[in-house]
């Protein structure tokens, strides 16, 4: 999988069940952030000194959406992927939330909203699109659910997740 970059980051791919449907939790980053502003992403970020990618993913999920790390069961990892513009190498960890909160608390100044998107809807909203980044045309997976567009590194993570969980989604 595409994974350039020399800055390490960890993200949590939080999964839960709502009304019998598998759901992933995303954030919409604050629009005025200098990097990736307004984009949909998983909770996560750059490693602090001495942290592992998993440590960073859990710390950032606590900060960004007030998710208690003790409520997350890490059930696996997905292949690393990278960001083209900002040079991050992202390590995604899949976490199961058996008892999700009724509502989420978004971190002021960093997260505009917390989104729960059904995996079935993400799969149905898949398209390969041609985008231009830094003057270079790229072909990237995108997922559209209603007004929400998931693209870039987050879409590559979703694609890896859906490939792994595809048989489970087909059974529902």
**pLDDT attached to residue 21:** 93
89 within 8 A of 47, measured Cβ to Cβ = no
Q: How many CB atoms within 10 Å of residue 75?
A: 11
Alpha carbons 32 and 110: distance in angstroms, whole number: 9
Ordered domains of the chain (ranges, CATH): 7-171 (3.90.79.10)
Q: Which of 10, 13, 159 is nearest to 72 (CA)?
A: 13
**How far lies 103's CA from each of 86, 117, 139, in Å?**
31, 14, 35
Q: DSSP string covering 96-148, please?
A: E-SS--SS--PPTTTEEEEEEEEHHHHHHTEEEEEEEETTEEEEEEEEEETTE
Residue 26's DSSP bridge partners are: 115
Answer yes or no: pTM beyond 0.95: no
Q: Which of 29, 30, 32, 31 is nearest to 43 (CA)?
A: 29
Q: How many CB atoms within 10 Å of residue 22?
A: 17
pLDDT per residue rounded down to tens, the chain (172 residues): 555 557 899 999 999 999 999 999 999 876 676 565 568 999 999 999 999 999 999 999 999 999 999 999 999 999 999 887 778 899 999 999 999 988 898 877 777 899 999 999 999 999 998 877 667 788 889 999 999 999 889 999 999 999 999 777 765 4
27 within 8 A of 106, measured Cβ to Cβ = yes
Residue 108 buriedness (CB in 10 A; 0-12 / 13-18 / 19+) = exposed
Sheet holding 148-150, edge to edge: 126-133, 136-145, 148-150
Tokens representing 102 are 């009724």
């Amino acid at each position: 999988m595409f994974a350039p970059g020399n800055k390490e980051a960890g993200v949590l791919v939080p999964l839960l069940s709502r009304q019998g449907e598998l759901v992933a939790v995303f954030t919409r980053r604050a629009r005025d952030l200098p990097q990736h502003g307004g984009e949909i992403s998983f909770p996560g970020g750059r490693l602090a000194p001495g942290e592992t990618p998993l440590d960073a993913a859990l710390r950032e999920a606590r900060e960004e959406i007030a998710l208690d790390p003790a409520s997350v069961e890490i059930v696996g990892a997905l292949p690393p992927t990278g960001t083209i513009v900002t040079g991050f190498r992202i390590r995604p960890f899949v976490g199961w939330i058996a008892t999700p909160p009724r509502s989420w608390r978004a971190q002021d100044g960093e997260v505009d909203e917390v989104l729960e998107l059904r995996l079935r809807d993400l799969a149905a909203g898949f398209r390969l699109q041609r985008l231009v980044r830094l003057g270079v045309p790229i072909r990237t997976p995108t997922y559209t659910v209603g007004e929400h567009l998931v693209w870039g590194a987050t879409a590559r993570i979703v694609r890896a997740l859906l490939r792994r969980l595809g048989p489970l989604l087909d059974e529902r």
